[in-house]
Amino acid sequence: MTGFRTFASKCAVGDTFRYTLQGVDSSGVPTGEWEVGIGTYSAANQITRSVLDSSNAGAAVNLSAGTKQIWIGMDAMMGRWIQERLTAARTYYVRTDGADANTGLVDSAGGAFRTIQKAVDTVASLDMGKFQVTVQVQDGTYSGVALPKCRGDLIPILTGNLTTPSNVHVSVSGSVAIGATSPTVVTGIAWHVQGMKLTATSSTCLLVSGAGNIVTFSSVVFGAAGTHMSATVGGKIMGKGTYWIAGSANLHLASSYGGEVLFIAVGSGEFLANVSFSTFAWSYGGSTINALGVAYVLGSYTCIGKRYDGYTGANIIAPNGGFPGNAAGTLVYASYWGA
């Protein structure tokens, strides 16, 4: 085609590429014959075609006589591979009256998403670059969410109601409320969670599993659960300020198989109810719980259960005043520091 480079000038024998082909009449108007596929430059000025779609019901077109145009280009399938690259910070909205068919970019019933999962998956489809992306969840009750890996310089923020966190309630039964998990050894999932209540009957409120995965949190209320926080298989949970304990659980803090629960900023774990735990802080298998940066405030409430248990290379560091509870813990080939 006039003005285009030739295949011979750009391709060596054996090169592969996406091609588009169409038939045209003497005026250059498409005749209706077309193909898209993967081409191999198999010899000089010769292309072997592996068809992806065509006017012949997806099979190779038996080309009629006449002019055919063929070029290297991007088809619609390749267009799906391209990530939108942000040029400014962005906020996605989630509301109980929204719909996942919306854009998520407007805080209204006709603009917001319905599920948190749709919002975080949309964030994962972006190239965030150097810009902050926030998922703003409005008051209501929501199902659980699996946090995906995202691309960008800044950790995306999943936020609810910072004034009254319990108004945004992620409540599940028998499944994880918020999880950052992966089957691979290293993935790099990273999010910050804030301003919401997590309840997970018979399961885990906040689970991070997999080396390279990290979730930081602040202003979170932990309701009734099997386990409030669990970092395992190299995953890391980092507390960054005040949070609240409103429900009982088997374990409050748990780390295993190289996982770490760490409080990196001075804050408090404030109780909102009388609660009980089998063990407040439990660690196993070369894992760490470092709660030196948090102070637990019982107020008028009670906390029943063992303060800590450590096994097989666990390292537990208690805050000033020790962990809440009314019974001593158990240490088996583990270390414990604190009251």
Per-residue model confidence (pLDDT) at position 223: 98
Mean predicted confidence (pLDDT) in 56-64: 92
Per-residue model confidence (pLDDT) at position 184: 63
Q: Is the pLDDT of residue 186 over 60?
A: no
Domain boundaries, the chain: 7-79, 160-337
Task: Enter the tokens of residue 152.
Answer: 């960008």
Per-residue model confidence (pLDDT) at position 75: 73
33-66 burial code (b ≥16 CB/10 A, e <16): bbbbbebbbeeeeebebebeebbeeeeebeeeee
What does the pLDDT look like over 190-209, one tens digit per residue?
A: 999 999 999 999 999 999 99
Q: Long-range CB contacts (< 8 A, 24+ apart) of 20-26?
A: 20/70, 20/71, 20/73, 20/75, 21/49, 21/61, 21/68, 21/69, 21/70, 22/68, 22/69, 23/63, 23/64, 23/66, 23/67, 23/68, 23/69, 24/66, 24/67, 24/68, 24/69, 25/66, 25/67, 26/67
**pTM, rounded to two decimals:** 0.79
What does the pLDDT look like over 136-169, one tens digit per residue?
A: 999 999 999 999 999 999 999 999 999 999 999 9
Per-residue model confidence (pLDDT) at position 73: 82
- Taking all residues of the chain, what is their mean pLDDT, rounded to a whole number? 94
What does the pLDDT look like over 110-124, one tens digit per residue?
A: 999 999 999 999 999
Q: Give the rounded percent of residues in the chain with a pLDDT score beyond 70.
A: 97
